[in-house]
Amino acid sequence: MQPLLLRIVISEGEMMTEWVKVCSKSELPDDSGVGALVHGHQIALFYQAELDRVFAIDNHDPVMDANVICHGIIGDLKGQWVVASPLLKQHYNLETGQCLEKSELRLRVWPVRVCQDQIEVQWAGA
């Protein structure tokens, strides 16, 4: 299991939408995930090296009721970038959050960008 990176971001105000710096890009391991705490909300960040792309998705696994999605394996499944839950192996689309096996399950995905080597997540409330 990868170490869980917990970065506590102190709130400076009650904006509805804001870009929140989470960590530097170099802190993200290739093709793997870390957990980040943004305004008390757990978000899993994944860096896909081949695409040079960062995905941000809720870290909470609704099936196991545990914050473990950041420990999941990412990969291309039938043309979709997905993360597999490390516990029961449901697959979630990293762009939409949709669970491929259970249509009623969808994780929240977060807009994410790289700004001067800093990973920023667009926070819009929990």
Residues that bind ligand FES (CB under 6 A): 9, 11-13, 15, 18, 20
Instruction: Please enumerate in sequence order all residues whose Cβ is within 8 A of that of 122, keeping only pairs 6 or more positions apart, or say none.
Output: 17, 18, 19, 20, 110, 111, 112, 113
* In the complex, minimum distance from the CB of residue 13 to ligand FES, in angstroms, rounded to a whole number: 5
- Which of 56, 51, 48 minimizes the C-alpha distance to 95? 56
Cα 54 to Cα 115: distance, rounded to the nearest angstrom? 12
Compare residues 36 and 84 and give the one whose CB is closer to ligand FES. 36
User: Is the distance from CB of 28 to CB of 52 less than 8 angstroms?
Assistant: no
Q: What does the DSSP assignment read for 55-90? A: EEEE-EETTTTEE-GGGSEEEEETTEEEEE-TTT--
| Closer of 7 and 60 to ligand FES (Cβ) | 7
User: Considering the complex, what minimum distance in angstroms separates the CB of residue 35 from ligand FES?
Assistant: 18
Choice between 95 and 125, CB closer to ligand FES = 125
Name the residue nearer to ligand FES (CB basis): 3 or 13. Answer: 13
Q: How far is the CB of 110 from ligand FES (least distance, A)?
A: 14
Taking the complex as a whole, how short is the minimal distance between the CB of residue 28 and ligand FES, in angstroms?
A: 19
| CB closest to ligand FES, residue no | 12
